[in-house]
Amino acid sequence: MTIQYSSSDLIKKIAGNNYSYTYSSVKKVTEADANVKKLQDKAEAFKKKVKTLNRYTSGSISKDLLSDQVEDLVKTYNDMKNSSSAVTDKDVQKQITKLEKLFSDNEKNLKKIGVTNVNGKYIFSSDTLSDASDKIIESLFVGHDSFIGKANKIMNKIEETADDAQYIVSEYKINHTHTYKDTDIVQAASTALAGQTASSIKAYNRIVQSGSDIPANFQESMDLFLTEFAKSVYRTDSTNDNENIDRLNQLCLDHEEELAKLGLTFDGDYKNMRYDTVDATTSDFQSTLNDLFGENATFGNTVSEYCKNIFNDIVQPDKIGVSILDALA
């Protein structure tokens, strides 16, 4: 989630944090799911026992050997079932549930060969198997639709879904600290002030041009805004190598004559801009104000654009994961 700041609040936060800003990003890493891997190992062991019994034919082996095979089947099933509880993939769990139901549906005949469910875990009695009829044994282990035949089909699906689920995308929160030069933050703060002041001057110009009554504090407000504008918009002391700063300075120089009508002038060496109070109620002032800061005035709009670019170039809001509320527009 992007954090929002006003330009001035962000500058204060950076300056108050030793000219740095700490932010977080999320790194996505594809990793093997250890729980799925464990299940795959247990499932492989169980499936081997399923395949062995799936090859059973009537009278092909002794009951002693069959007893060993069924005991192995029960043991490996319990191991696999136990490991499956930690797997969260819904497709894998769906197949595990089918296998559980298969055991449950055949519980009556399984019990006749010594396989019983005790508190959710299957146990095996070889004595019971030795007394079981061939018909019961065949019903469980012979044919595609037998218990073991269906178990084999389900195990194929378990292997397939487990293969699909064996890798997960993990997200890790990483903290970063972006550092700034103190001089750059001073420039960014000055530029933000210039952009905000330009917006305020534009707002007052709209009042003047609308024909509404001029506010009683209009002169006082214009003196304040133009004083701040002069100090912040034209900076020749910047150590930041930024072409937008040069463009903004040149823009002011290109409009020297018009700015002078608003009381904005340069010193002899063109090092600084200053404001000397002029009467803001005259038609000449108000006409020039509209020419420079009117709704479609090139000067005011370009100032706002350059200020925004300079601020973004220095502070890099996108890089540190923040958005600027006032947008310096």
Inform me whether the pLDDT recorded for 53 exceeds 90: yes
Inform me whether the pLDDT recorded for 310 exceeds 60: yes
Q: State the burial class of residue 206 (Cβ atoms within 10 Å of its Cβ: 0-12, 13-18, 19+).
A: middle
What mean pLDDT do residues 280-296 have? 94
Question: At 1, is the pLDDT very low, low, confident or very high (cuts 50, 70, 90)?
Answer: low
Q: What is the pLDDT of residue 163?
A: 94
Tell me the C-alpha to C-alpha distance, in Å, between residue 70 and each of 22, 81, 136, 292, 317.
61, 16, 14, 93, 66
Could you read off the pLDDT of 168-195 as tens digits, one per residue? 888 999 999 999 999 999 999 999 999 9
Range name among 21-25, 36-40, 247-251 with the lowest pLDDT average: 21-25
What mean pLDDT do residues 285-289 have? 96
> If you count DSSP H runs as helices and E runs as strands, how many of each does the chain have, helices first?
14, 8
Quote the distance between the C-alpha of residue 328 and its chain's center: 26
Could you read off the pLDDT of 73-89 as tens digits, one per residue? 999 999 999 999 999 99
Tell me the C-alpha to C-alpha distance, in Å, between residue 114 and each of 62, 70, 82, 124, 137.
16, 9, 21, 5, 11
Residue 248 near residue 310, CB atoms below 8 Å: yes
Residue partners of 240: CB distance under 8 A and separation at least 6 = 181, 183, 184, 187, 314
Q: What is the pLDDT of residue 327?
A: 56
Inform me whether the pLDDT recorded for 224 exceeds 70: yes
Q: What is the pLDDT of residue 169?
A: 85
Inform me whether the pLDDT recorded for 206 exceeds 70: yes
DSSP 116: E
Inform me whether the pLDDT recorded for 139 exceeds 80: yes
Inform me whether the pLDDT recorded for 64 exceeds 80: yes
Inform me whether the pLDDT recorded for 120 exceeds 80: yes
Which residues are registered as beta bridge partners of 178? 21
Q: What is the pLDDT of residue 60?
A: 84
Could you read off the pLDDT of 231-256 as tens digits, one per residue? 999 999 887 788 999 999 999 999 99
Q: Backbone phi, then psi, for 50, in 5-degree steps?
A: -65, -45
Q: What is the pLDDT of residue 121?
A: 94
Q: What is the pLDDT of residue 329?
A: 47
What mean pLDDT do residues 131-156 have? 95
- What pTM was computed for the model? 0.62
Calpha distance 35→43 (Å, rounded): 12
Q: Two tokens at 286?
A: 């108000």
Inform me whether the pLDDT recorded for 97 exceeds 50: yes
Calpha distance 183→178 (Å, rounded): 15
Calpha distance 46→100 (Å, rounded): 14
Q: State the burial class of residue 169 (Cβ atoms within 10 Å of its Cβ: 0-12, 13-18, 19+).
A: exposed
Q: What is the pLDDT of residue 58?
A: 85
Task: Share the mean pLDDT of the chain.
Answer: 93
